[in-house]
Structure 1
Amino acid sequence: MNILILGAGRTGSTLAEQLASEEFDVTLVDRDERRLTELRGRLDIQTVTGHASQPDVLREAGAEDADMLIAVTSSDEVNMVACQVCYSLFQTHQKVARIRAMAYTQRSDETKRDSEFFDSDHMPIDVIVNPEKLVTEQIEQLLDHPGALQVLDFCDGRLQLVAVAIDRSDRLVDTPLASLSERLPGVRVHPAAIFRRGQPFLPNPMTTVEPGDEICFLGERDQIALTLAELRPVPPLKRITIAGGGNIGFQLAQNIEARLAVRVIEFDHDRAEQISRQINGLVIHGDATDAELLANENIERTDVFCALTNDNEVNIMSALLAKRLGAKQAMSLIAKPAYADLVHATEVDIAISPQLATASAILTHVRRGHVQSVQRLRRGIAEAMEVTVTGEARYSRVVGRPVNGIRLPADTTIGAVVHEGEVLLGGNSEHRLATGDTVIVFLADRRRSRAVENLFGVGLSYF
């Protein structure tokens, strides 16, 4: 599969690295020759220097033979024009664009969406990815599940995965997972993956839980809520402080102010005045890294401090400061992957990466048709895939086979199967997979994703 990526920023580079490791044919376009040289030196990719929306540059990059265009430059307009050029001149089959400005996608009146503009008759973009919207939704999920480090939806929200950090005082410490039902009576979930000292692995019933482990539990939505209630009996959230009134902070404040008391700290005076007229919560003009300001605002009464400015350093420092001054939980938006790794060793509870959120959304569309979604676990090392079983038994390596008899690639496991509405947790079921079943597969090593795709695909003779 030939994939053309426009933009060698953090998201473009992350995608190029991921797809190249899975042996896709990747060509990366950017105007920064030095950046392309560095990436070409460590990745098996082709690069072209030039303006990403210009026809001659796209032609040189192989747009005529590309199966997919992924436009993730820093300019929404360049991304849109590049999709138009590839559609009109090169008939590129699938076009994905990152569009940040909500003005292009939000509802314009009561009957019509601006998103109707993005079709083959106007602006031919097949998939629009908005990082700010993805991050806002991710934070809302975390606020809805106090105590969780990550929350992911599968099967249209029927199944959820929740990551929980294990403290030394937790009831699961020093017990094998086989005793989970005894330790959490009445709770029906599957421990699908564990992160231990930063590295993921797939546990078995005899795996003993250690302090500091991050366990990923998979189960139906109500069971996930029970799991959190048993492991993390946290009082309902009441007060949220948001540092940064940019797109993400403002949208989050609007979305949650009906149910939570919201305060926004914004450094820019004009922006603070603007958003104060658009939300009901308190807007404070000031520096979120000012310890005196945080103390005067009684930050110790805040249930969650969300550092969402456009500055990585400000986010890290303000979140650390808020936590040390008594905030119960601190989240920080981190755009640099290297910073995200450092933050996990600090008092900041959750680091949120726009790049990982964007990459996960785009990778779903890179996968083959039977892959419904791709989700990155924690820091992006591991992956979960939602796969629909297709084909007939004679053309498939999984149809008609019992779940516990499927020969999975190394470092992968089946977390759940949904068959005609019934949820079967774990990989030890004797259920024989049938066409239409949904399977949640966990990969401790995301490089195994192509092997999983091939396993659940059908032979060419099927067609």
Structure 2
Amino acid sequence: MNIVILGAGQVGSSLAEVLANENNDVTVVDIDRLHLQRLQDRLDIRTVFGHASHPDILMQAGLEDADMLIAATQNDETNIVACHLAQLMFRVPTKIARVRGRSYLEHPELFNRAENEKAIDIDLLISPENLVTNYILQLIAYPGSLQVIDFHDGKLRLVAMPAHEDGLLVNKKINTLRNHLPNHIKTRIVAIYRKDEIVMPTGDTVIRTGDEVFFLAEPQHVPAIITELRQRKEKPSRNIMIAGGGNVGFHLAQALEKTHQVKLVDHNMNQAREVAEKLNNTVIIHGDISDKDLLLEENIDEIDLFVAVTNSDEANIISGMLAKKLGVRRVIALVNNQSYVELIQLNGIDVAISADRITTSNLLHHTRQGDTVKAVTLRRGAAEAMEVVAHGSENTSEIIGKTIAEIPWPSDITVGAIIRNDQVIIAHRDLEIEAEDHVVLFLTDPNSTSAVAELFATSKPSWFSWS
């Protein structure tokens, strides 16, 4: 695909790297020459210096030949105007805009031509802040989880959990899992992350202490499976402290305050006041989240979960490590600088999340050929999960009518499950693919996505000919 990205910040750069590595033709536009030069030094991409919403700059970027525009600058208005011009001047097929302002997000009809013919034609509005908020809420729903991903509107869930030494499955083969679960609970362990490597499991693979285990199951069955990996039952996070009253912190508190005891700390007096006016049951504290005395005064040792989501990586890291040292059971920190992530997870912070990684994951399926409806990176890009729809018939598809064992999958792919007419079927060798099945795959090599697209592609039957 020919893709133009506006903005070479964290989100734009992360997208450019992923898309360039998948052999797309990528052009990045930015007003910062240094950012552009750094990208060009390490990636095979084209760069254009200039303002992202100027018509002449968009023309230089080659928008007339683009299949997709991703407007990901820091300015909402720039992104919206650029998408509008992309439609008016170049008829770009797919236009995606990063938008942070709540007012825009609360009025999606302004950007939907299907509902309003006078609307600005944007195919997708994406808010990294909303994505991060929803991601954290999923982690809170499953205490101890490292990553939670939904497929097909939540009918199937992928959960990553650390295996603790007292877990029932630890030091046992995966195929013994069925002995510990009720017959109606079906699951599949699709991958294990062990000592910086992805292990593609078989029934004879032994789970070790410290493994990060990725398993698929229906949402209602997830808690029972987690118990097998963690013998001690993780307590729900009742008392929560949030560091930062920006978009993420505010929306987290708003979502949690009816069912949890929530405290929110912000160093900015005006922002603290604004948040206090909009929240009903959250305790708002003005102060420095890295102040040990403040944390002790607020009974930090009684906090079950500490979530650091300020605009500063450094503040999130320091406050998270301090909170852990002072007795908080679990810490989640927003950290966008990838060079920090491995370091901090060895020093007390349980889960480090990245807004640009989450945003990139939520955009991936829009850049894929074929019928990929979801593509999500796992373990900071070490692996990927995909949901792909099987279209066609036995005459036009290489996979429909064949069992999983008969299909020539790339060696690095595991078929996890199939969703068929709202029914979840855990994959096995003799399971036959039918038309319109949603197939959930796990890949350890992102370069295999093109092979997946070829397998799922449809073609005209051999007897077809033009008359």
Counterpart for residue 211 of structure 1? 209
Q: 2-side partners of 1:157 and 1:454: how far apart?
A: 27
- How many angstroms does 1:344 deviate by? 2.4
- Give a deviation string over 1:10-30, Cα, whole Å, max 9, x none: 111111111111111111111
1:117 and 2:117 matched: no
The answer for the alignment partner of 2:287 in structure 1 is: 286
Matched, 1:311 2:308: no
Look up the match of 2:75. 75
Separation in 2 of the partners of 1:237 and 1:15? 33
SS at match of 2:336: coil
- Match of 1:455? 455
Alignment map for 1:66-215 (pairs within 5 Å): 66-106=66-106, 114-120=107-113, 121-184=118-181, 187-215=185-213
Bigger mean CA deviation after superposition, 245-254 or 44-53: 44-53
Equivalent residues in 2 for 1:14-53, closer than 5 Å: 14-53=14-53
For residues 394-437 of structure 1, give each alpha carbon's deviation from its aligned partner in whole angstroms, at most 9, with x where no partner exists.
Answer: 221111110122111131110001233432213x3312211111
In 2, distance between residues paired with 1:236 and 1:12?
A: 36
Please tell me the residue identity of whatever aligns with 1:117: L
Q: Secondary structure at the match of 1:441?
A: strand
Identity of aligned residues (%): 41
d(CA) in 1 for partners of 2:422, 2:128: 32
Deviations 1:152-172 (A, max 9, x none): 111110111111011222222
1:365 maps to which residue? 366
1:118-152 Cα deviation digits (max 9, x unpaired): 03422111101001110111111111111211111
Does the CA-based 8 Å contact 1:5-1:71 persist in structure 2? yes
Give 1:228's aligned residue: 226
For the aligned residue pairs, the C-alpha RMSD in angstroms reads 1.6
Could you tell me how far apart the structure 2 residues matched to 1:328 and 1:140 are? 17
Gaps of 5+ in 2: none
Query: 1:365: how far off?
Result: 1.3
Q: Which amino acid aligns with 2:196?
A: G
Indicate if the aligned counterparts of 1:161 and 1:224 stay in contact, CA closer than 8 A. Answer: no
Deviates most, 386-395 or 252-261: 386-395
What is the rounded CA distance, in whole Å, between the counterparts of 1:298 and 1:198 in structure 2?
Answer: 36
Q: Which residue of 2 aligns with 1:336?
A: 337
**CA displacement 1:54-91 (0-9 Å, x = unmatched):** 11111111100001001111111111111011110111
8 A contact 2:164–2:229 mirrored in 1: no
Q: CA deviation at 1:460?
A: 6.2
Q: Match for 1:199: what amino acid?
A: E
Which amino acid in structure 2 is aligned with residue 12 of structure 1?
A: G
**TM-score, L = length of structure 1:** 0.95
Q: Separation in 2 of the partners of 1:455 and 1:341? A: 36
What residue in structure 2 maps to residue 111 of structure 1? Answer: none
Runs of 5+ unmatched residues, structure 1: 107-113
- TM score, norm. by length of structure 2: 0.94
Q: Hey, what does 1:434 align to over in structure 2?
A: 434
Task: Tell me how far apart the structure 1 counterparts of residues 111 and 71 of structure 2 sit (CA, whole Å).
Answer: 14
Matches within 5 A, 1:47-66: 47-66=47-66
Q: Which moved more, 1:121-130 or 1:35-44?
A: 35-44
C-alpha separation in 2, matches of 1:355 and 1:157: 23
> 209-218 vs 114-123, which deviates more?
114-123
Code of the aligned partner of 1:193: A
- Deviation of 1:185 (Å): 5.3
> Contact 2:96–2:125 (CA<8 Å) still a contact in 1?
yes
Partner of 1:395: helix, strand, or coil?
Answer: coil
The 5-angstrom pairing of residues 377-396 of structure 1 reads 377-396=378-397
What SS does the corresponding residue of 1:442 show, helix, strand or coil?
A: strand
